[in-house]
Structure 1
Amino acid sequence: MAPSSLPSTLILTLVEVLLLSDSMLSARDSHIVYEGDVYIDIILSLYDNDDGTCGTIDPKSVQELEAVRWAIHNLNVPPYVPGVTLGLRAHPTCRSMGKVALVAANLANELSQNKSKTFGIIGPDYSSEAKVISSLLGSLTEEYRLPMIGYATTAASLSDGTLYKNFFRVIPPDNIQISAMEHLLVAMNWTYFAVIYDDDAYGHEGVRHLESVSKQRGICLIEKIAIDTQLSYQETTSKLNETFISLVNQPSPVLGVVVFGGTQLSASLLDVMNKSLNNVQKFPILILSEAAMDVGMFAVNWPTVLAGSFALNPPRRQIEKFEIYWESLYKNQTKLREEAVKNPWLLDVFELVSNPNCRPSNITCGQLPQNILDSILVPTPFVHFAIQATIVLIEAIKNVYNYKCNNADLCSSFLNVSRTEITNKLAFSKVELDAFPLNIKSFQGISVIFNGSVDAEPQQQSNSYVVFNCQENIDRIRDDCFKEVGNYNRLSNKLEISKDAIKDYKNYPNYTELSWNDIRKGQCSNGSLCSRCVNNEISPVLIIPGELYIVGVVPVHSRGALPMQCGDLKRGGMDIAEAINFAIHQSRFQYGVDVPNATIGAIIMDSCTHPLLIKERLLTLYRYGIINKDGSYLQIISKVLGFVAAWTSDVSISVADILTEIKHVQISYGSTASILSNRTMFPYFLRMTSSDTVQAKVMLDIIKDLGANYIQIINSDNSYGNGGKDVILESLDEYGICVAQVITIPSFPKWIQSDIIQKIRQFTTAKVVILFLSTSDFEWLVPSLEERLFPREFIFIASEEWGRRPLLQKVNNLLGTLTLSADPPMNQKFREQMLSLRSNGQDDNPWLESFLEHELKCHLQWSFNKSSSKPCRNDAGLKNDYQVDLWVPFVENAVYALLTGASRTLTKQCGKTEDICDKYRGNITELIEQIKRVKLDLYNNGNSEYIFDSNGDGKLGYSIYMVDNEAGGVKYSKIGTSSPFSWKKDEWMTLMNLKGQSPLKCEDRASCPNCFQIDKPGSSLCACSGYLYSTISLIIVCTVSMATVIFLLIKLRRKDVGGEGGYTDPYITPMYGNTDSSGRSAESSLGDPKICEPEEKTFRQENVDRDIGFSTIET
């Protein structure tokens, strides 16, 4: 019966069959190697491919054939299937796809003509061949669908039972091998390697999977070299010679190579490496896949280049009885001649390894030399799998036979049975191998279990793969150079490896043994920049798995120079990211927070200090969820308890815009902008800090207490800086202060420090300068001020973003600077956690490696940029003097508050559950109220207190610090508090040599040209834009302006008399931007100060220095 349908690729292969030469079809064809009543067919290569014809005999393939023949013989004596002798027919494929298709077509033809006595197939030994055969036979009607069981075919795609309906296998698939290889790469700290592979299904699928898992692990697969399996040994060697020289002569030599192919590929590569031994300074180390492990049969030829390398293989089951039998064949020529009558390929092996003039028929030849015996007697890695496949298939045949023939002699019901019945019996079977009547007891109690799938089920007590290390000075006759050093278990997905047992060498051929730290690794070489592997994409998120989640928004990186781009690492960002995770773990122990029946995870998102970028990332999180390592998304928004976000005010505002729409609570740990107190705009927002209004008032209280009334302001052009500036400008009348100028620093550029100094020196009598800057602006501006100013030239009062941060190198020029800091005590346990951070190259935290390299000024061994910095120590961690960022306690308290409020709300609304119920999500007001009721011991003094006011703003006040000299560096001396306001003014005056002086007050117009007293009762000293102008000039301006307005109104009205659409509004309002309730222009970007408002007029001028990008208000 003809096949019902055939894949197009198979049809092409059958066309090739028709073009085969007669010699190929007739010579070395199918052969019965064991006579029987019914047959099992084995399909395997037996020969190498030599340009489309059968080439040299393959000893390992012949050994596997003989192992199956040996097992069948032993099961026939006495008969395992009562009254039936099992036979074996062999089909050589010579690794020719045309030959493979011919074998499959012949089998299909026999079945369709009811001439077949074949009840099952073992093999073939290559995955690409198995695909062709199973595709053809599996497409037949069920009556003729022969079961196939593979013993060496490992391609992962063969696990698809919908495509390969009649295929099973006892060997673990390649996805298991790749998992084992992935764990080995990680354990050996490989991060930079090449792969050389066979250009067939086995090689392509294995490399594709290996590349995928390597990418997920951050391991760089630098080169993929495919070698045509149809090439001869000499052609393969020539091709590999070019490849090898290219790999080792790169600017960063490839020191790690994975070989994913068979015997010919691995042997050719070792041959090339051996010939290059004296010409290569840095010699690579190899990892051989299970198909390449056959190289162990002749590893004695290349002991030097193999030493130190690794190999993977499924667990070896030593079948001692077969090994004794196999050895006896080539030590006893009489026995060899007897067995060769049934299996003629045994003679081909003998002829391959013996003297050309020596044949088994010539009894004068004597025994083969020991080194020749060694090359053919070592059992292949697949012998025991071939025997397993034989046992499992025969057991299925026996079960169907007993059912059909009722345990009697061979009957027609069995001979005519639908082959699918055997396939179905095989699909759900369990065979205890050691209980089988071969009496070999070599399978260590394992069973082969099929439960409806292609692959046998893994067993807990059995390792799936074994790692071998080639070592010197061990017995090669049986074990080659390979010693077992590790085991991978598929069920636990863990590799247990003994690092102490691993050996590597240098100084060939003297073999100086290397310690673990010095062994060769597949890594980017010291002094090299492996630019093709450098990942310029900054990971946007850290995921800590849990059942419920807190989402944290953290500025791990600064804002980049280009739109929507991240920049360099931001100081303190990593501390905050770690603090969120730390607080989640500590919440239960420190505050007894227990979210019912659920573990708490974290999703920490890098905002890159960019409001638009974090919006995009939050929307992606909301729409799609978090991305897994395999590229898929996991929806988690329904599992989010709340958000801890963010540091800077502009980012918090962006986050709040999104969360207001999707109704999620947000607690900020560092945002102080006054606008965030507006609960109409931000109803679900809370924060640990107080508003900028509080901070600005503290600054003004200090200025007032100093008697200063003439100041300058420098602020960042963001929500934080502009908000603080606006509060100060709005309070000028209250405090009787005049502002000489406001300098607003744009986000970019940052190369203009000298211009800022030049600008503030324009008003030398305005000695007090308020700094309302973001941390990133402080980081570049403070060193410039420190470098270029004279001692005590200006007096700076800085916002809490300076606080007590380590921004200063020397103090003299900024001595006396006053800074504000909201500083609850640091958790010493968290500091210990930061100091314990170590990178292993496979960190869950995607930012840890670059953070440590940045802080330690060195490169880790798995780095791809080793061009400049020195190598880090193997256990590199932060130094003991590392200063944890001051915002960390706020982060911890925000997490504690959120978890406490969430726990109470979950219990009240949802009961004991690990899921968030609809009542929790639908009643966000309840959650906010529970959070507001949280009390914490903020100062570790045993007194718990409310941390939020009724509006959801933080209740913490500020400490006032003074920059002071200290032996060896900077000292921040605490000299005051904000609540109640109190500070050691006399101590500061003494430090600044101002005792008894009053140089900070504007006394007259000559000293303060931009400020003057309005001659009006009750008016205050105020700031006026523009330079000297008089009341007369103001009157002139007003008169001219009024005349112009009247003239235009009359002219326009005359023009439109009698016409439609005439102007009815008598006012012309030349204002830009929004207006406040009084109709005045309210330019939010610059925070228009309410200045100089006598009843007559106010004149205000804005200067923009376009050369350097500053926005400056001069008054």
Structure 2
Amino acid sequence: MKYPDSVLIWIHIFTLCVAEETTKLEGDIIIGGLFKIFDLKDGACSNTVDTASVRDYEAVKWTLKKLNAANYIPGINIGIEAFSTCDIPGRAVYHTVNFAQKAFENHANSSSLPIVGILGPEASSEAEETSAFLSSLSKEYQLYQFLFSATSSNLNDERLSNIVRVIPSDTIQTKVMQHFLKQLEWNYVAVVYENTTYGRTAFEELSSSAKFEGICIAKSFPIEIGITVDFSALQTVLDNLLSNAESQITGVIFFVSTTTASDFLSIVQGRKQGSFFRLMMVFSESIALERSMLKNYDSVSKGTFVTSPPVLEVKEFSNHWNSILSNKTSFLDEYVTNHWLLNVLRKYISCDPFQETCLMPTLQEVSTSENENIFEGYAIVAALLQVNGIKELHSEKCKGSDGICTELRETLHKHKNMLFKKSSREVIFQDVPFHFEKNFSIILNGKNEVLMNGNISAYEVYQYRRCLDKNEDFCLEKVADYGENSLKVLTGRLVDYSDNNNEIQWPNMYKAQCSLGRSCKSCKVENTENDIYFKNGDFFIIGMAPVNTGDLSNPLHCGVIRESNGWECTEAISYAVDDINQNKDVFPNSTIGFIILNSCNQPVLTSKKLLNIMNNGVTLPNGTVVHDVSSRVLGVVAELGSSISQAAAEVLQEFNIVQVAYGSTAAVLSDREEYKYFLRLSTPDTNQAVAMVDISKKLDLKYIQILFSEGTYGEGGRDDVIRAAKSSKVCVANEIIVQENKYSMVLDDLRRNPYAKVVLLFLKSHVVSEVIEVITRSMDAEEFVFIASEAFGTRTEIIENNPKLENSLSLSLEIPLSGNNLKGYIYSKSTEKYYLNPWTRSFLEKKNACFFPGSFDKSSNEQCEKVFDRYNSSDIKYDIWSPFALHAAKVVLNGAYASFRHICGLNSKTICSEYRDNPKRVWEYFQRQNLSLNGVQTSIFDDNGDGNLGHVIYQIKKSRTDPKVLEFVKVGSFSQSTNLNLSRIDTINPTKCPNQKCENYCSLFYNGNVADKQETSNDSSNTGVVVGLSVVAAIFVFSTIALIIYILIIRRVDPTEFSMRNEYLTVVK
């Protein structure tokens, strides 16, 4: 790691301007110590003592004195020479350089006092710089650094090879914060952090991981600590929190020092005296559980949370510390080896403690005022671990003799890298003359950070609240324990405080969320294409559904969430898998998982997702990667859209994986040369087109138009209609292609052929509703009648409040769900607090125009209630394709089991090579599957793997009970085996050619001599008008061209520089 110029500058300033401040415990062996001791002010050490830091040093010194008194290393006393750094990296490096100089002297002079390592420094920014320097030295000079309060995850860098850290890193702390915020239901917060190694790294880790849990860091505020904290900068932070334009921010996370925290709380307390606002706070471990700091500002700090490593209390030392500050004899004894104690004592007394007349504070005063310091326990552990390393080395080198033997001296002086072993092992502190309140051992694993094993949490969360044992006072009470990657929150201890100081119990506490009536757009996840609905298992089926529309400007991105035929399909697929796992009907000895993807109706995105899963596995929202997925895929359920099924098939057949579509009616998918391992439950559009044309012919509707979507589905349907129409002598007057979001001219295009009143619709399911709404908004009653494909189906939202659709017809693909409890499965999810399906919240909010607690869009002002109730109704009406998705998933599961059992064997725990190498055989097992439909085992595929269930025909009629309401009435059916069957249909006026020109066109159409669509005239009386207009227009065109040529000649303009827009020369027919 490169040594920064800024640090060299600090060293230079320090050597010129700062007198050394040091204290020392003599010994046969010396440990170097680096402690903050004084606060930073105006770029230098101030006179303001950091009591916690002095206490950390005293804890180390007390530990060494205890060990020496107990002859812990026979015949050897351990001393410490400590320096103050004031959290200035330059000071820390300066003293580290001096320690290194001592190591050089040791190497050259075996009689010099050996230095065996360094304890500290306390701040991460200091530790990073000092370690970078020491790690750059030759191994024999490298002093180990034992860190007890520097928590930045940057210090896990293996290049900083001399580090041994005994305190958990911020990687764990940010995980705890992430879990805790989620359980508090805080998801709209700000982060205030000091712009140091510690603050930056912690902020970056939290912001990176929080998004996976749906927690939005709406604002972040770096605080510069170059000279001292700018008070006005903290005031600006508060202003920005309270006036955030998007939504007021009420939850704030802090990665700051005690000094900065104290300054901020002071500002908040001052501001609150003149205004009302709510601010809830979580402080990191860097404030060291300093209760007195919070107590100074308890009007605003009540309810504040503090994350912390587990407290490692040594009561003997706590008593020792209190004795020093209350007993003059103890103070004078310890002052000799800790001069900084005087600075701490001056907080209590103003007299000279060295004078007999000066009275010390009472024990009660000290006990009440002094904080439990989180870092002192880790300082003791660091000292013990370092001394234990020397003890083991002494035992190895001196073979039972006391003192520093020759072999040990050689190692102490010339092989600093051998003074501690980081290799994997457990260290149990035996024969230590004091004890911790918790039992634990140290686990070394060869890395920079040690682990603790035993009756101890990995991390803890405290709340500043009324004491549990004495309700009149406020304490830091533990409210959560973190261990084994999970956080246990003691919800019974969680409280909040109202403005009149009343306690509010969980779960009624205030929550840091987007405000009511606001839309927090900065927090919305725009790129939902990466969302995956995942359940692990021994084997997988992959499912796909168009939960969102596509982004028309980018084939790899998603648009808005769909209100039908998307989300419910994902639930149907997951239900099929969960039902199989529960009943153990198939794969009784294995668990089936699912991977459900959002295709967003984008073919390119579909291909990308499938290829990524096959090559790289599945990346979960928390960043975990599930590898080796492709070898466990039994089959694929995909998809609704034909273009999506095409894209999926082209990928999957390269991996010899069988695919079953639940929609996808395009005729092109019947080609088994092209789509080898593809099946579908839906009946192909070839049959649907024949049915639509047969209906037209049956009702004497022989002059029609076609309105179709751009893409495989619409264009394929158009082609099928044209073929069927020619065969049945039904004349197609006009073919109108519809592009997404471009619907304004569709009615004008239809009106060009007003006598072709019957319009056959082949529109995609997610656009048909909008297109019909645009057409009928301006259409005259009975101007056009529609015969719609299955994408229109029986969707009541299309015909609701639209009387102009009366007498129109639609075809529907239907498959019963008798005996299935899909509605109960979905309804049961209403109790889930955080939905496993990543699209549930967005779908239900849009579908019901409401918001859930924790939503980032509360602009509707309506909270979602009873949104699952439709799934608790006896007359539930599912989306059209949900039953198909469920049955397609069951076909995949049952077909995979049948083929797996015969090919791989029932007891196989893996997919055997024969299953992959013979996909056609697997396909045949799938194709032979029957479904129980209304209690009857029904063959659902023809020999080609296409669905053979046929279509149900509906007519839109007035309800018998309420004539103002339209409803779908079943009037017939169509299948390959029974052909067209119509009954109970209301009359539709016949349509036919209006004139001879039209008849001539239709004759050419039937014989296949019309290459492109032809727009016919309205009637015979208009023919002369059209011809006259054409002549006039032609004269106008030629005159315009002559005039332009004349102007160009006169002006001598290059004709290539003159661009004539085509629309200026268009003749309106």
SS of 1:180's partner is helix
The answer on whether the counterparts of 1:396 and 1:422 sit within 8 Å (CA) in structure 2 is no
Q: 2:93 aligns with which of 86, 98, 101?
A: 101
SS of 1:776's partner is coil
SS of 1:682's partner is coil
Q: 2:319 aligns with which of 314, 321, 324?
A: 324
Query: What does residue 4 of structure 1 align with?
Result: none
The answer on whether the counterparts of 1:584 and 1:600 sit within 8 Å (CA) in structure 2 is yes
Letter in structure 1 aligned against 2:326: K
Alpha-carbon distance in 1 for matches of 2:154, 2:496: 35
Alpha-carbon distance in 1 for matches of 2:84, 2:326: 26
Cα 1:375–1:599 change in 2 (3 A) is same
Letter in structure 2 aligned against 1:268: D
Query: What does residue 1061 of structure 1 align with?
Result: none
Do residues 805 (structure 1) and 795 (structure 2) align? yes
Alpha-carbon distance in 2 for matches of 1:683, 1:105: 72
Q: 2:816 aligns with which of 825, 834, 838?
A: 825
Alpha-carbon distance in 2 for matches of 1:475, 1:883: 57
Alpha-carbon distance in 2 for matches of 1:591, 1:294: 53
Query: What does residue 167 of structure 1 align with?
Result: 163
SS of 1:960's partner is strand
Q: 1:119 aligns with which of 116, 132, 152?
A: 116
The answer on whether the counterparts of 2:758 and 2:991 sit within 8 Å (CA) in structure 1 is no
The answer on whether the counterparts of 1:400 and 1:425 sit within 8 Å (CA) in structure 2 is no
Alpha-carbon distance in 1 for matches of 2:816, 2:418: 74
118-127 or 683-692: which moved more?
118-127
Query: What does residue 292 of structure 2 align with?
Result: 297
Query: What does residue 1095 of structure 1 align with?
Result: none
Question: In the TM superposition, what is the alpha-carbon distance from 1:323 to its structure 2 partner?
Answer: 1.4
Query: What does residue 392 of structure 1 align with?
Result: 385
Question: In the TM superposition, what is the alpha-carbon distance from 1:179 to its structure 2 partner?
Answer: 0.9
SS of 1:195's partner is strand
Query: What does residue 1092 of structure 1 align with?
Result: none
The answer on whether the counterparts of 1:782 and 1:808 sit within 8 Å (CA) in structure 2 is no
Cα 1:101–1:1029 change in 2 (3 A) is closer
Do residues 71 (structure 1) and 63 (structure 2) align? yes
SS of 1:481's partner is strand
The answer on whether the counterparts of 2:744 and 2:774 sit within 8 Å (CA) in structure 1 is no
Query: What does residue 152 of structure 1 align with?
Result: 149
Alpha-carbon distance in 2 for matches of 1:109, 1:1027: 102
Query: What does residue 206 of structure 2 align with?
Result: 210
Query: What does residue 197 of structure 1 align with?
Result: 193
Q: 1:538 aligns with which of 503, 528, 531?
A: 528
Alpha-carbon distance in 2 for matches of 1:837, 1:75: 60
Alpha-carbon distance in 2 for matches of 1:10, 1:770: 74
The answer on whether the counterparts of 1:218 and 1:842 sit within 8 Å (CA) in structure 2 is no
Q: Over aligned residues, Cα RMSD in angstroms? A: 3.7
The answer on whether the counterparts of 1:297 and 1:480 sit within 8 Å (CA) in structure 2 is no
The answer on whether the counterparts of 1:216 and 1:629 sit within 8 Å (CA) in structure 2 is yes
The answer on whether the counterparts of 1:293 and 1:312 sit within 8 Å (CA) in structure 2 is no
263-272 or 218-227: which moved more?
218-227
Do residues 483 (structure 1) and 480 (structure 2) align? no
Do residues 775 (structure 1) and 769 (structure 2) align? no
Question: In the TM superposition, what is the alpha-carbon distance from 1:328 to its structure 2 partner?
Answer: 1.8
Alpha-carbon distance in 2 for matches of 1:231, 1:693: 78
- For 1:310-459, list aligned pairs within 5 A: 310-351=305-346, 353-356=347-350, 358-368=351-361, 373=366, 376-410=369-403, 411-418=405-412, 419-420=415-416, 423-425=419-421, 427-433=423-429, 436-443=431-438, 445-459=439-453
Alpha-carbon distance in 1 for matches of 2:1002, 2:44: 109
The answer on whether the counterparts of 1:1009 and 1:1028 sit within 8 Å (CA) in structure 2 is no
Q: 1:852 aligns with which of 812, 830, 844?
A: 844
Alpha-carbon distance in 1 for matches of 2:11, 2:43: 11
Cα 1:783–1:71 change in 2 (3 A) is same
Query: What does residue 513 of structure 2 align with?
Result: 523
Letter in structure 2 aligned against 1:640: V
SS of 2:597's partner is strand
Alpha-carbon distance in 2 for matches of 1:594, 1:479: 61
Do residues 513 (structure 1) and 503 (structure 2) align? yes
Do residues 559 (structure 1) and 555 (structure 2) align? no
- For 1:854-873, list aligned pairs within 5 A: 854-866=846-858, 868-873=859-864
Cα 1:85–1:616 change in 2 (3 A) is closer
Question: In the TM superposition, what is the alpha-carbon distance from 1:954 to its structure 2 partner?
Answer: 1.1
Question: In the TM superposition, what is the alpha-carbon distance from 1:291 to its structure 2 partner?
Answer: 0.7
Do residues 931 (structure 1) and 926 (structure 2) align? yes
Superposed CA deviations along residues 710-761 of structure 1, whole A, max 9, x for unmatched, are: 444433333323333333332335544344444443334023464366456x
Question: In the TM superposition, what is the alpha-carbon distance from 1:518 to its structure 2 partner?
Answer: 4.7
Query: What does residue 978 of structure 1 align with?
Result: 974
Question: In the TM superposition, what is the alpha-carbon distance from 1:308 to its structure 2 partner?
Answer: 1.7
Letter in structure 2 aligned against 1:1010: C
Do residues 1010 (structure 1) and 1005 (structure 2) align? no
Question: In the TM superposition, what is the alpha-carbon distance from 1:108 to its structure 2 partner?
Answer: 1.5
The answer on whether the counterparts of 1:168 and 1:455 sit within 8 Å (CA) in structure 2 is yes
Alpha-carbon distance in 2 for matches of 1:616, 1:72: 62
Cα 1:247–1:978 change in 2 (3 A) is same
Alpha-carbon distance in 1 for matches of 2:170, 2:622: 18
Cα 1:448–1:1006 change in 2 (3 A) is closer
Alpha-carbon distance in 2 for matches of 1:437, 1:805: 78
SS of 1:276's partner is helix
Do residues 574 (structure 1) and 577 (structure 2) align? no
Cα 1:757–1:264 change in 2 (3 A) is same
The answer on whether the counterparts of 1:689 and 1:954 sit within 8 Å (CA) in structure 2 is yes
Q: Which runs of 5+ in 2 are unaligned?
A: 107-111, 1024-1061
The answer on whether the counterparts of 2:100 and 2:143 sit within 8 Å (CA) in structure 1 is no
Alpha-carbon distance in 2 for matches of 1:334, 1:776: 85
Q: Which runs of 5+ in 1 are unaligned?
A: 1-6, 1034-1104
Query: What does residue 1050 of structure 1 align with?
Result: none
SS of 1:896's partner is helix
Cα 1:460–1:395 change in 2 (3 A) is closer
SS of 1:76's partner is helix
Query: What does residue 602 of structure 2 align with?
Result: 610
Question: In the TM superposition, what is the alpha-carbon distance from 1:839 to its structure 2 partner?
Answer: 9.8
- For 1:39-58, list aligned pairs within 5 A: 39-55=30-46, 56-58=48-50
Alpha-carbon distance in 1 for matches of 2:77, 2:317: 21
Do residues 950 (structure 1) and 930 (structure 2) align? no
Question: In the TM superposition, what is the alpha-carbon distance from 1:18 to its structure 2 partner?
Answer: 4.2
Alpha-carbon distance in 2 for matches of 1:559, 1:426: 54
Question: In the TM superposition, what is the alpha-carbon distance from 1:585 to its structure 2 partner?
Answer: 2.1
SS of 1:471's partner is strand
The answer on whether the counterparts of 2:465 and 2:474 sit within 8 Å (CA) in structure 1 is no
The answer on whether the counterparts of 2:30 and 2:78 sit within 8 Å (CA) in structure 1 is yes
Alpha-carbon distance in 2 for matches of 1:426, 1:731: 80
Superposed CA deviations along residues 676-715 of structure 1, whole A, max 9, x for unmatched, are: 2122222222111122222233334434444544444433
Alpha-carbon distance in 2 for matches of 1:477, 1:777: 63
Alpha-carbon distance in 2 for matches of 1:891, 1:611: 19
Do residues 654 (structure 1) and 621 (structure 2) align? no
- For 1:491-502, list aligned pairs within 5 A: 492-502=484-494
SS of 2:211's partner is helix
The answer on whether the counterparts of 1:553 and 1:645 sit within 8 Å (CA) in structure 2 is yes
SS of 2:984's partner is helix
Question: In the TM superposition, what is the alpha-carbon distance from 1:545 to its structure 2 partner?
Answer: 4.5
Alpha-carbon distance in 1 for matches of 2:620, 2:349: 60
Query: What does residue 1044 of structure 1 align with?
Result: none
- For 1:937-1086, list aligned pairs within 5 A: 937=932, 939-941=933-935, 943-964=936-957, 965=959, 967=961, 969-979=965-975, 981=978, 987-988=984-985, 992=986, 994=987, 999-1000=989-990, 1010-1011=998-999, 1026=1016
Question: In the TM superposition, what is the alpha-carbon distance from 1:512 to its structure 2 partner?
Answer: 3.1
Do residues 13 (structure 1) and 7 (structure 2) align? yes
Query: What does residue 504 of structure 1 align with?
Result: 496
The answer on whether the counterparts of 1:524 and 1:862 sit within 8 Å (CA) in structure 2 is yes
Question: In the TM superposition, what is the alpha-carbon distance from 1:176 to its structure 2 partner?
Answer: 0.8
Alpha-carbon distance in 2 for matches of 1:751, 1:281: 51
Query: What does residue 182 of structure 2 align with?
Result: 186
Query: What does residue 685 of structure 1 align with?
Result: 678
Question: In the TM superposition, what is the alpha-carbon distance from 1:380 to its structure 2 partner?
Answer: 0.5
Count of residues paired in the alignment: 999
The answer on whether the counterparts of 2:829 and 2:835 sit within 8 Å (CA) in structure 1 is no
Alpha-carbon distance in 2 for matches of 1:1024, 1:108: 92
Do residues 719 (structure 1) and 707 (structure 2) align? no
